[in-house]
Amino acid sequence: MARTPTAQTAAASIDLSKRDLTLDLARVFCVLLVVVIHLLMVGVGVGADGELIAQTPTESPLGAAPWFPLATWAGQIMPLFFVVGGFASITAWRSLTRRGGTGADYVRNRVLRLAQPALPLYIFYAIVIGAAMVLAVAPELVTLAVQGAASPLWFLAAYTLCQALVPFMVGWHTRAPRATVVVLLAGAIVVDAVRYSTGIQQIGLLNLAFVWLLVQQIGFWYADGWFGRRPAWQLVTIAAIAYASLVPLTTWGPYSDNMLTNLNPPTLPLVALAIAQACVLRLLRPALAALMNTHAARAVVFLAGTRLMTIYLWHLPVILILTGVTLLIPGAAPEPGTAAWWWSRPLLYVLVLAGVFGLSLVVGRWEAPREVMPTPPTAVVVVAAVLSFIPSFLVMQFFMDFVIAVTGSVLLSVSVLMLGRWGQRASAAGQGAPL
């Protein structure tokens, strides 16, 4: 029997939405590279005179290296993570809508996937900081350690915002893909112009939306096959132009040549990086696909992929804990910047990953959403998404402290309960509670 046009369209859509394992590999690579960079920016050790050395990230052997700013043009891979996230988002959205799902269904699932893994981390910080206050541990040391360990939480604020707006952004992309990009790009440019001309840094926070949503849209275009339809020479040209644009932006423009500095608040150079990285990703796709055909690569990617949020959220606390342990072992914490320190990094990296893997056996179960159908009303989902956004936004603005840790624990708990247990309460109410 011949297929109807609707069935043919659905079949084609299903074929287009098949999982691209190279994107899973890219996502895992991004997170593992973040661990490497953070490990190299923790400059803690014992000097030749036996005194403790604790450097800030900018003073660390990596941060202080003269070549480091230029290295961030390749090493700042968070734009690529948002591009890959955009690909996964639009693919998941289209799959959901084919099954009759709604925007509330999508946002509920995605926010839970971010809020649930973050909740035990905020509780951990509340306990650790509270205990340090009771024990009268040096406040300066606690503040330095906690603020550094919690710094990656900015990602949750930016990604929660992007994920919560996926239903709207996909609709806009479907109706007017080019206009969407133009509006977001214009918004990012205007925000940066006002921020740098007035010196009011808080204005740059608006680019949490304009910049990261624009980068997410690039992932939409990637999923639609735009990059796949470009011949290799065009992708190379586009990537070269995008990277070259960083020269005038950082030389004559107001932006830092260190792409980590351009991260919070996000700025226009991150868009250029996203375009270049999307092109490079597509150029490498044949090699990455061949790699993902091996059992070893699939095993590593799937193992890390099921623990990705745990790795990202907990790697810095684990790095600091292991660094503290090395200080207790004679000769295990060499002076930062020495040959011994650099040679110790690969071993410490393996230990960090092993520590995070062990920790994932305890906290990793929070990565799987706990949904009780039906989906809450749209208004409830919106409120829960806002509650989930607030804690990490506060960390991004004011750094982690006891008040924010407690506030985050409460708000995330409420958000998770609203999204994951709403249906259970509604069902109980419908059956009548026992007297």
3-state helix, strand, coil in the chain (%, to 5): 75, 0, 25
Give the mean pLDDT of 325-347. Answer: 91
With contact defined as beta carbons under 8 Å apart, do 343 and 336 qualify? no
Q: Which residue has the tokens 């604020």?
A: 157
DSSP-assigned letter for residue 100: T
Question: Is 351 within the bounds of a domain?
Answer: yes
C-alpha span between 86 and 337 (Å, rounded): 38
Indicate whether 13 belongs to any domain. no
Sequence length of the chain is 435
> Domain for residue 129, yes or no?
yes
The structure's pTM equals 0.90
Query: Is 215:270 a contact under the CB 8 Å cutoff?
Result: yes
Q: Name the nearest CA neighbour of 79 among 342, 259, 343, 306.
A: 259
What CA–CA distance (Å, rounded) separates 382 from 168?
13
SS3 label, residue 52: strand
Which of the two residues, 78 and 364, has the higher pLDDT score?
Answer: 78
pLDDT of residue 18: 58
Does the pLDDT of residue 348 top 80, yes or no? Answer: yes
Query: Residue 373 has what pLDDT?
Result: 63
- The pLDDT of residue 69 is 93
The answer to whether residue 108 is domain-embedded is yes
Query: What is the number of domains present in the chain?
Result: 1
Rank 132-136, 193-197, 371-375 by mean pLDDT and report only the highest: 193-197
Residue 98, in any domain of the structure: yes
Instruction: Compute, in degrees rounded to 10, the torsion defined by CA atoms 361, 363, 367, 371.
Output: 110
The answer to whether position 435 is within a domain reads no
In tens, the pLDDT along 379-411 reads 999 999 999 999 999 999 999 999 999 999 999
- Specify whether the CB–CB gap between 43 and 54 falls below 8 A: yes
Residue 261 in this model has a pLDDT that exceeds 70: yes
Token code pair at residue 360: 């994932």
* Any domain includes 46: yes
Residues paired with 52 in a beta bridge:
46
Please say whether the beta carbons of 322 and 358 come within 8 A: no
**Structural domain contains residue 120:** yes
Task: Check residue 7 and give its pLDDT.
Answer: 34
The percent of residues above 90 in pLDDT, for the chain, comes to: 73
Q: Decide if pLDDT at 429 tops 80.
A: no
Give me the mean pLDDT over the 284-297 stretch.
94
Q: What is the mean pLDDT of the segment spanning 183-190?
A: 98
| Cβ atoms of residues 30 and 78 within 8 Å | yes
What pLDDT score was predicted for residue 426? 41
Range of the domain at 108: 21-427
List the single range of 73-77, 322-326, 422-426 with lowest mean pLDDT.
Answer: 422-426
- Residues sharing a CB contact under 8 Å with residue 366, sequence separation 6 or more, in sequence order: 116, 117, 119, 120
Using alpha carbons only, what angle is made at residue 335 by residues 354 and 257, rounded to the nearest 5 degrees? 80
Helix pair angle (269-291, 207-223), 10° resolution: 30
81/427 Cα distance (integer angstroms): 38
Helix axes 78-98, 103-134, angle to 10 degrees: 140
**Residue carrying structure tokens 């893909």:** 177
Mean pLDDT (whole number) for 13-28: 72
Each residue's pLDDT tens digit, 222-254:
999 999 999 999 999 999 999 999 999 999 999
